[in-house]
Amino acid sequence: PIKSYCALDGFYEMYDTIGSGGFAKVKLGVHCLTGEKVAIKIMDKKQLGDDLPRIRLEIEAMKSLSHQNVCKLFQVIETDAKIFMILEYCPDGELFDYIVERDRLTEDEARHFFRQIVAAVAYIHHKGFAHRDLKPENLLLDDDQQLKLIDFGLCAKPKGGMNSHLETCCGSPAYAAPELISGKCYLGSEADIWSMGVLLYALLCGYLPFDDDNIAVLYRKIQSGMYEKPEWLSESSMEMLDQLLQVDPKRRITVAQLLHHPWVTKDCNPSYNVQWESIYQTKELDDECVTEMAVSIGKSRKAMHAILSDWSYDYNTATYLLLWKRKQLSKSVRLMRDQQSIP
Ligand SMILES: CN(C)C[C@H]1CC[C@H](N2C(=O)NCc3cnc4ccc(-c5cc(Cl)c(O)c(Cl)c5)cc4c32)CC1
């Protein structure tokens, strides 16, 4: 491990930089008590400047999100100069690179991924958030082909709930909905649906439905809603794309309709339809994990349970969540015991 920041000493081992996201550096880390890999997003408060409120918003959003297709936040560490976000590590990188390596995906493979994207978006909408920057670069792969949605820096939690309008024009132009780029008021949920249409097109075709180096030409193409349909697309895929890429947001399919759409649920046994509910019922804590932590830290189970129930996103929260994640993967629910000094 490299010399880490003193704020992490003893809690995380720090390894090299694995990527960068805008004004953040992302390093590989290891959580000492569990030995689990994590991604550590490091931001310098001075460099953030007036972007600092966006980070606070991203952190608060991620604290309230706990879903199998949303990148999990484990801990937040703040010093005078830095903010560290300890995040779920996704070893197989961006969906973007996965598509590029294969040119394009088969319809079945695209469906496998799109189902997870619908699940993640249905879940965050249910929690009152619109993502507003859905694109393959913000969908990461963990080590069993599970997608994890990242980067909630642009997400919005409209004051009046998901049926109230937003104004800010944001996100990546090629994925932006017509109503968003024409400066009209728009619904975050409807704009996310459009972006999912652009995403599905990228999965099925390997390139973008609306593209141009000149931003004004790009905007006209988006507002026309006209896009090329290559001959390898099936009838059902074209129909699915048409329902997502509707220029009029009121004619666009909704997330609720998507969850039961035949293209999305094809070959799905009825029990396994789109898992938009979270498999993590974060209400009650897992006894086995609480007990293991209590023993390891030398506290009573009751005291440990009380500490964890605060969800303060400190090292205890991270340890619990990582232990729980190990349990989901039926790995051992054991912590590193500090080396018993040989008497
Ligand atoms: C739009 N792109 C440029 C953004 C890049 C950012 C770095 C990513 N990344 C790697 O570069 N190597 C591997 C890797 C592994 N696990 C990760 C886990 C979480 C995050 C993460 C999560 C959130 Cl919520 C967030 O806001 C940010 Cl910035 C990063 C990044 C990881 C990662 C790839 C996408």
Per-residue tens of pLDDT for the chain, all 343 residues: 777 788 899 999 999 999 987 789 999 999 999 999 999 999 999 999 888 988 998 999 999 999 999 999 999 999 999 999 999 999 999 999 999 999 999 999 999 999 999 999 999 999 999 999 999 999 999 998 999 999 887 777 777 777 788 777 777 999 999 999 998 889 999 999 999 999 999 999 999 999 999 999 999 999 999 999 999 999 999 999 999 999 999 999 999 999 999 999 998 766 556 777 777 766 789 999 999 999 999 999 999 999 999 999 999 999 999 999 999 888 889 998 764 444 3
Which residue lies with its CA nearest to atom 28 of ligand 1? 21
Q: Mutation test of ligand 1: which of 30, 62, 150, 152 has the most ligand atoms closer than 8 Å to its C-beta?
A: 150
CA of 17 to the centre of ligand 1 (A): 11
> What does the block give as tokens for 91?
């070893």
Backbone angles phi, psi at 26, to 5 degrees: -120, 120
Separation of CA 237 from chain center: 25
- Measured distance CA(30)–CA(13) in Å, rounded: 5
| Residue 126: Cβ within 10 Å count | 15
- Measured distance CA(309)–CA(304) in Å, rounded: 9
CA of 142 to the centre of ligand 1 (A): 12
Cα–Cα distance list, 38 to 27, 57, 75, 149 (Å):
8, 21, 10, 15
Is there an atom of ligand 1 within 6 Å of 92 CB?
A: no
CA of 133 to the centre of ligand 1 (A): 14
Give 309: exposed, middle or buried? Use CB within 10 Å, 0-12, 13-18, 19+: exposed
Q: Do 12 and 26 touch, CB atoms closer than 8 A?
A: no
- What is the pLDDT at residue 164? 80
Paired sense of beta strands 147-149 and 12-21, if any: unpaired
- What is the pLDDT at residue 282? 62
Q: What residues have CB less than 8 Å from 169, skipping those under 6 apart?
A: 176, 180, 181, 183
Positions marked catalytic = 133
Is there an atom of ligand 1 within 6 Å of 28 CB?
A: no
Atom of ligand 1 nearest to the CA of 19: 11
Residue type for position 87 = L
CA of 19 to the centre of ligand 1 (A): 6
Q: Mutation test of ligand 1: which of 30, 90, 96, 147 has the most ligand atoms closer than 8 Å to its C-beta?
A: 90
Is there an atom of ligand 1 within 6 Å of 150 CB?
A: yes
- What is the pLDDT at residue 343? 39
- Measured distance CA(158)–CA(238) in Å, rounded: 32
ipTM over 0.90: yes
Is there an atom of ligand 1 within 6 Å of 94 CB?
A: yes
Bridge partner list, 222: none
| Residue 226: Cβ within 10 Å count | 12
Tokens 């193409």, residue?
Answer: 221
- Terminus-to-terminus CA distance in the chain, angstroms? 30
Which residue lies with its CA nearest to atom 22 of ligand 1? 150
- Measured distance CA(91)–CA(70) in Å, rounded: 15
Which residue lies with its CA nearest to atom 3 of ligand 1? 21
Q: Among 104, 195, 106, which Cα is nearest to 149's?
A: 195
CA of 148 to the centre of ligand 1 (A): 10
- What is the pLDDT at residue 281? 62
